[in-house]
Amino acid sequence: MQVIKSNGSKAPFDVKKIVRSITRAAQDAKLAPEEINKVVNEVSNKVIDFIEEKDKIPSSEIRDLILSELDHVSPSVSFEWRKFMDAKKNG
C-alpha cells in the first residue's frame, strides 16, 4: 500500500503514524489511557479495513476518513486533531 502525500511523493502505509496522531489528539483531549486505547483501536481498525484493498491512497483521504470516524467515536479527539491541523497550517 502506497500513500500519496500532498507534495506528490509516495511512502509506504504505516499504521504507527495513525496510532501516534490519534494518541496525541486523544491525550490533548484529556482522555483516560483506557479510553485512548479504545479510540485508537476502533479508528485505526476502520481505516485499515477501508484501505487494505487499495494499491495507493492519498494521505488526504486517510486524514478525512480518520476525522470522520473520530467525529462518531470521540468528537473531542476530532476537535483536538483539527485544532492541531489548523495551528500547523497557520504556522
Q: Which helix (H) or strand (E) holds 14?
A: none
pLDDT value at residue 84: 87
Number of domains in the chain: 1
pLDDT value at residue 91: 64
pLDDT value at residue 29: 94
pLDDT value at residue 38: 95
* Residue 8 half-sphere exposure toward CB, CA atoms < 13 A: 0
Segment-wise mean pLDDT, segments of 10 residues, the chain, 91 residues: 92 92 94 94 91 89 94 94 83 64
- Its pTM stands at 0.85
Domain containing 66: what range?
Answer: 2-90
